[in-house]
Amino acid sequence: MARKREADRSLKRDAGWFHRRLARAYPDAACTLDYETPLDLYVATVLSAQCTDARVNQVTPALFRTCRRAEDYLRLGREELERRIQSTGFFRSKAKHILGAGERLVAVHGGRIPQTMEELLALPGVGRKTANVILGNAFGKQEGIVVDTHVGRVSRRLGLTRQTDPVKVERDLMELFPRKDWTVLSHRMILHGRNVCLARSPRCAGCTLSERCAYAAG
């Protein structure tokens, strides 16, 4: 038991060290999806599934100019919405989610995006990752940590988790990092995964985390 407690303390110390290094490397890390309102962010996050944020940011400006409220998406209709978001891929299911959410927002929430995890998870197309994106970035609420493919990969390579299921990875990370850092931590890990800790050819030689990284140590 004493050995486990010491291992846990050591892992927490490493986690703090990793985040200090990430903070220096990515001091201005923030959500890379463009949005003005919580509704914008919901739509952009739905569109970002299996699509790059850069592509989503090309599609959404014209869409957001037309659709300022949930009711606007419903008036736009399925065929027109599908046409506008087609280049993001999986556009039929994405349009179905957005319109389904629009109906629920109007019927249950007065057309506004709710601010609790439970209510967000009841919206079509929303899992914990999307809910955490919305809560952390649109409302400044630290309810969890966004775990996408980059966060999962970086976390496992650093030795912060052995889990592959995003919910279990999130649980491990929430135990290691202070609640106040949860949102910005995910942004920094995502940037690190995109720029340095690549899936196929990680750039360990120039990585600011390599000194204590389990993967770099071999």
The three-state DSSP-derived secondary structure of 142-170 is CCCCCCCHHHHHHHHHHCCCCCCCHHHHH
Tokens of 175: 């135990």
What secondary structure does DSSP assign to the chain, as a single string?
A: -HHHHHHHHHHHHHHHHHHHHHHHH-TT----S--SSHHHHHHHHHHTTTS-HHHHHHHHHHHHHH--SHHHHHHH-HHHHHHHHGGGSSHHHHHHHHHHHHHHHHHHSTTS---SHHHHHTSTT--HHHHHHHHHHHS---S-----HHHHHHHHHHTS----SHHHHHHHHHHHS-GGGHHHHHHHHHHHHHHTS-SSS--GGG-TTGGG-HHHH-
Enumerate the active-site residues: 129, 148
The token duo for 177 is: 């990092």
